[in-house]
Amino acid sequence: MSNEPSWDVYRSFAAVLREGSLSGAARALGMTQPSIARHIDALEQAIDGKLFVRSQRGLSPTDHALSLRPHADALVAAAAALRRSGRGGPDAVSGVVRISASQAVGVMHLPPILTDLRRAYPELTIELSLSDQPDDLLQRHADIAVRMFEPTQKALVARHVGDVRLGFHARRDYLDRRGVPNTLADLSGHDLIGFDTETDFIRSAMRYLPGIDRSAFALRVDSDAAQFAAIQAGFGIGICQTVVAERDPALVRILVDALDLPLPIWIVMHEDLRRIRRCRVVFDMLAKAFMR
């Protein structure tokens, strides 16, 4: 007989890592806490190593556990992909398709597109994963992704569907009160909305804005949707997608010559999914909608 732990053992391990406690993992999986504890014990015996230590905050993963986390996450993602693929045959537009996108795309662009998709294919279920950290399509963490950068992996099918542009915007009544800046230097007298944590993309974008850095922001938040909501509320001046700002007549674009940054949009999926009709349909509808 094999001593290989069952799939449930790995699933419990991943849930404890994710939830931070046995009780949280039990709730997430619909199991009892003693069952989760037995699974962790079984895995520790199988690998001959300690996975968690108790602390005041609950269970803390050991270095051994953290080294195993990518493998556990890959198993969970593969199991989820298997379930999605099993719901509805390869030629049916039914079952589940998981879409990954940034917070901004998910909030500002996808809702009407997904509404049209649901009306056209009522037997289709969409799972929407929103994160500014891209999901790994090679590991099948998602079926299709809307990305703001060109993918490089050869196993992915990608279609460039256009660009959106970034620019400075503010609400009209804010500019009436505070005045309209004519140069980047004039921004020093305004309430600016910007990032909290600097990323590689932000670092490259800020090269176009000399003299402006994190210290200049009156509101710092790492969410494009929250930044846009603050612009709409009249908090101050921020950077957002021009196509989104144009939907609100109260917003005014300023300093056009100082910032007009293109942001590419790519629709991406794993090449193996081209054989599954529901994935092809969703891929094509997303591409057509963003092209419009």
- What is the distance in angstroms between the CA of the first residue and the CA of the last residue of the chain? 59
Look up residue 201 and give its amino acid. Answer: F
> What domains can be seen in the chain, in order of their start residue?
7-83 (1.10.10.10), 86-162+265-291 (3.40.190.10), 163-263 (3.40.190.10)
- Whose CA is closest to 5, among 73, 75, 61? 75
The string of pLDDT tens digits covering residues 35-79 is 998 999 888 888 888 988 877 667 888 988 888 888 888 888 777
Residue with tokens 């970034």: 166
Instruction: Report, in this order, helix, strand and coil percent for the chain, each rounded to 5.
Output: 45, 25, 30
Residue 144: how many CA atoms within 13 Å on its side-chain side? 26
pLDDT band, very low/low/confident/very high, at 1 (cuts 50, 70, 90): very low
| Mean of pLDDT values over 243-264 | 94
| CB-facing half-sphere around the CA of 210: CA atoms within 13 A | 1
pLDDT above 60 for 2: no
Main-chain dihedrals φ then ψ at residue 20, nearest 5 degrees: 85, 5
Q: What is the pLDDT of residues 146-161, one digit of tens each?
A: 988 888 777 888 999 9
Q: What is the pLDDT of the chain when averaged over all its residues? A: 87
pLDDT of the residue at 292: 84
Angstrom distance (rounded) from CA 260 to CA 256: 6
122 vs 138: CA distance, rounded Å: 28
Would you place residue 5 in the very low, low, confident or very high pLDDT band (cuts 50, 70, 90)? confident
Q: Is 273 exposed, middle or buried (0-12, 13-18, 19+ CB in 10 A)?
A: buried
Distance, in Å, from the CA atom of 266 to the CA atom of 8, rounded to the nearest integer, reads 36
Alpha helices in the chain (DSSP H): 7-19, 22-29, 33-47, 63-86, 103-108, 110-120, 172-178, 200-205, 224-233, 242-245, 277-291
Rg (CA), the chain: 23
- Distance between CA atoms of residues 74 and 77, nearest Å: 5
Residue 54 CA to residue 60 CA, distance in Å, equals 6
Q: Which pLDDT value is given to residue 82?
A: 72
Q: 63, 62, 137, 61: which is closest to 98 by C-alpha? A: 137
d(CA 199, CA 205): 10
- pLDDT over 90 (residue 92): no
**pLDDT, tens digit, for every residue of 93-131?**
778 888 989 888 998 899 999 999 999 999 888 998 888
pLDDT number for residue 134: 66
